[in-house]
Homo-oligomer: A and B are copies of this chain.
Amino acid sequence: MISDIVFFLLKKGAHLEPRRITTGEVAEGIGVSQQTASRKLIQLEKEGQISRSQGRIALTQNAILEIKSKLKEILNSLDGTTITFKGKVASGLGEGAYYMRQKHYVKEFNSKLCFKPFPGTLNVSIGEDDIEKRLVLREQKPIVISGFTAKSRSFGRIDAYRCSISGLPGAIIFPERSLHGLQTLEIISPFNLRKKLLLSDGSDVKIEVVKNNPCEPKA
């Protein structure tokens, strides 16, 4: 993670411009001996995290970028626990059912999503405003369903995110070779959603994704 010493340098503003900072000050700041601080600074310089000249220390651009990326990761985990989409049921192409019947997919969905998918997918058209959320969702680590080849036809991998759709369990899937644009989400579920939720084209649905929310395999 972000080391004590980089944290200290950050607090000293070493990301803005080179700062006059002695090894003794660093030692004091992070609670180690001067010798250790010296050694660590040498190490950081070797790694390209800091640059030193004339008794001044600066964090490199690389180091700053790394800090920012780590920060983003932490913030992403900490807040915004659920992502919510509102959308309308869209007519499907009938292709989904064929895919959802493939033994390999069924097996993987069952073990990784903890449900046996109904053979069919529900297409949901989301509003312009929710496209950004879609991108946020795609920054999350997906549950990966591997691709395979059967009968000299190859089936691509599928990224999945567990969700609840109007209260029922399911998953948003992103097939590697998707037929849909950014406006459409493809949903699978253990249930026949159209029947169970009495949906028809244009019906409003609410989809909620809880980040970091693995399923519990049945014993």
Contact = CB atoms under 8 A, between A and B. Distances in A.
A77 interface: yes
Given A3-B1, A12-B212, A68 B78 contact: yes
Contacts of A81: 16
Contacts of A74: 2, 7, 10, 67, 71
Nearest to A212: B13
Interface in A37-55: none
Given A67-B78, A71-B74, A74-B71, A7 B1 contact: yes
Interface in A87-116: none
Contacts of A211: 13
A16 B67 contact: no
A15 B75 CA distance: 12
Contact of A10 (B3, B13, B78, B214): B78
Q: How many copies does the complex hold?
A: 2
Interface string A1-36: 111100100111101100110000000000000000
A201 interface: no
Contacts of A66: none
A166 interface: no
Nearest to A11: B77
A67 B1 CA distance: 12
Of the listed residues A4, A15, A77, the one surrounded by the most CB atoms of chain B closer than 10 A to its CB is A77
A73 interface: yes
A77 B211 CA distance: 28
Nearest to A216: B20
A133 B12 CA distance: 20
A10 B72 CA distance: 13
A16 B212 contact: yes
8 contacts: A1-B1, A1-B4, A10-B74, A11-B73, A11-B212, A13-B211, A67-B78, A68-B78
Interface of A: 1-4, 7, 10-13, 15-16, 19-20, 64, 67-68, 70-71, 73-75, 77-78, 81, 211-214, 216
